[in-house]
Amino acid sequence: MLCPKCHAELNRDARFCWQCGAPAAAPETGTASPSARRAVPWMALAAGILVVLAVVALLIARRGLPGAGPVTTGDATVPGSQALSPTAPVTGTPAEPPSTEQPLTAAPPDASSSGQPVTATPPGSFPTAPGLPQGSAENAPAGAEEVAAYLRKLEAIQRRDSDNPMAQLFALMASGLSGLTQIARELGGEEVSPATDPAQYLRTFDQLAREKQALANDFQAITPVPQACGNLHALYGRYLQLQAQAILDLRSAVAQADNLAAPLAALPAGRNAEAAQRAAQAEEEAIRQRYGIPRTPAPLVP
């Protein structure tokens, strides 16, 4: 035990403190040790938690699980389980289905006679049932066939347009006049030598410009143009005209061999042509989605 004055540790039988001389108080039988006093709050807290858990478990047992049916025992109904009859026997296997082995009998001759004529289904029409999807032709907007025919003609123009080496022309514009000889050889073939007259390069640009203009004229000759494709027709026609103008601007830049800023002056025309092409492609995709018309796969053999 401890001295009540200086807290020195004393013998249990000592009557006075050996350090300060104060009388030692006898231990009371009704008091608990400090460790016991510290353990009391934790025990009370644990008991409170157990009480709360018991209350929650009782509430859950009374309310039952959601989605389960009640259990009826006597006059009381216990939620959370399926209803069981006290007199119904419990079997481990489901009831056997009724036997279908019954003799087949033919109907009497006059059993199918209802007094109404029997008509055949007309060709090309099919009986409809509720909840079944109808054919795509019935769900497609009006004028879908005309739109599909126009898009097929547009695809033919697009295949011709992809054969035009515009990428090489814009590479020439971006690199300036220093790569004129090598790019011209790629455009004209190996027969074009580095010593060829610069007029040969200009004739190459002139030929490409004529092909692009002829392609634009063939596109404008597409008829009929459905009303739903009017905006697409205008956008794609503008793209072809701007691309032809870009070729002419590049040709002019090549002709000015002494002007190093000429290729930079042709940049806006090429950018305008690319922007017009993106606008036409977006309009075409919107029309295909609206009418459910996929793009025709490109042929493997040109």
Q: Is the dihedral of CA 133, 139, 145, 147 positive or negative?
A: negative
Q: Is the pLDDT of residue 226 over 70?
A: yes
Supply angle C-alpha 255, 247, 223, rounded to 5.
Answer: 150
Closest CA to 249 of 287, 212, 197, 196: 212
pLDDT at 178 over 50: no
Query: Mind listing the pLDDT tens digit for each residue in 102-147?
Result: 555 545 545 444 445 544 444 444 444 333 334 444 566 889 999 9
Cα 24 from Cα 12, distance rounded (Å): 9
Omega before 34 within 30 of 0, i.e. cis: no
Lookup result for tokens 């490109």: 298
> Which of 281, 53, 44, 16 has its CA nearest to residue 151?
281
Predicted local confidence at residue 165, as pLDDT: 59
> Over 60: is that where the pLDDT of 44 sits?
yes
Side chain identity at residue 262, one-letter code: A
Structure tokens at 7: 């807290």
User: Tokens standing for 79?
Assistant: 């939620």
Residues 255/202, Cβ–Cβ less than 8 Å: yes
* Residue 167: alpha-carbon gap to chain centroid: 33
CB burial string 29-41: b at 16+ within 10 A, e below: eeeeeeeeeeeee
3-class DSSP state for residue 52?
helix
Residue 233 has pLDDT above 90, yes or no: yes
The structural domains of the chain, with segments of one domain joined by +, span 144-291
Q: Integer distance in angstroms from the first to the last C-alpha of the chain?
A: 108
- Stretch 251-264: mean pLDDT, rounded? 74
Per residue, the 3-state secondary structure of 34-92, as one string, reads HHHHHHHHHHHHHHHHHHHHHHHHHHHHHHCCCCCCCEEECCEEECCCCCCCCCCCCCC
Of 10-24, 122-136, 277-291, the range with the highest mean pLDDT is 277-291
Q: What is the pLDDT of residue 271?
A: 87
Six-digit token string for 284: 């075409």
Three-class SS state of 81:
coil
pLDDT at 298: 73
